[in-house]
Each structure stands twice: as C-alpha cells, then as structure tokens.
Amino acid sequence: MADKKQNNRKNRMNNGDEDYNPKFRKMRKKVCLLCTDKDFVLDYKNPDQLKKFINEKGKILPRRATGACAKHQRDITIAVKRCRHIAMLPYAEN
C-alpha cells in the first residue's frame, strides 16, 4: 500500500512537469467582483446583495472565497456588520 502511494507520487513528479506543485493546481485568478462591475454598489440596507458574502452560518467569507480585493473586502466586511447591526442579517445561524 505504502509502496503504491510512493510510486504514484514518483510518476506524477516525472511526467515532464518540472514546476508541478499540488498546492497551486488548477488555481484560477479570481477578479474582484466590485472592481469589475462598476454599477455594483455595496449597500448595507440590502441584505440580499450581502448574502453572497456570508456563508450559511452567517459568517463573512474570507477573501479567498469572495475573490474581492483588499479594499473591497474591507467594504464588504463593514457593510455586512452594519447590516447585522440593523438586524437585516443574522450574527449567527443555528
């Protein structure tokens, strides 16, 4: 079993791809939603829009999941927190 695993690994490393790194496999560059769409205006009074940036537990998604740039991720975070404050989004679900 262990031998087989090692063999597979060896084969993968020798398949001609010198820079093969499983960490960066099939990673597509995400572009910031707010940077690409100029008409998209974050509104803390619009929970339907902000629901895209939270998970089913009500937590704010990390940047690697939203794909937003640092500036806009900050804006998203503030908008979600404001929305929670006025009770239009949950702080926590379940």
Binding site for Zn ion (CB under 5 A): 32, 34-35, 69, 72
Q: Which parts of 14-62 fold into alpha helices (H)?
A: 33-36, 47-50
**Exposed/middle/buried for residue 45 (C-beta within 10 Å: 0-12, 13-18, 19+):** exposed
- Minimum CB separation of residue 75 from Zn ion in Å reads 8
Nearer to Zn ion (CB atom), residue 34 or residue 89? 34
What's the Cα-to-Cα distance from 82 to each of 28, 45, 49, rounded to whole Å? 31, 8, 13
Nearer to Zn ion (CB atom), residue 54 or residue 76? 76
Which residue, judged by CB position, is nearest to Zn ion in the bound state? 32
- Minimum CB separation of residue 63 from Zn ion in Å reads 10
Nearer to Zn ion (CB atom), residue 30 or residue 85? 30
- Minimum CB separation of residue 64 from Zn ion in Å reads 14
What's the Cα-to-Cα distance from 84 to each of 49, 78, 87, rounded to whole Å? 13, 10, 5
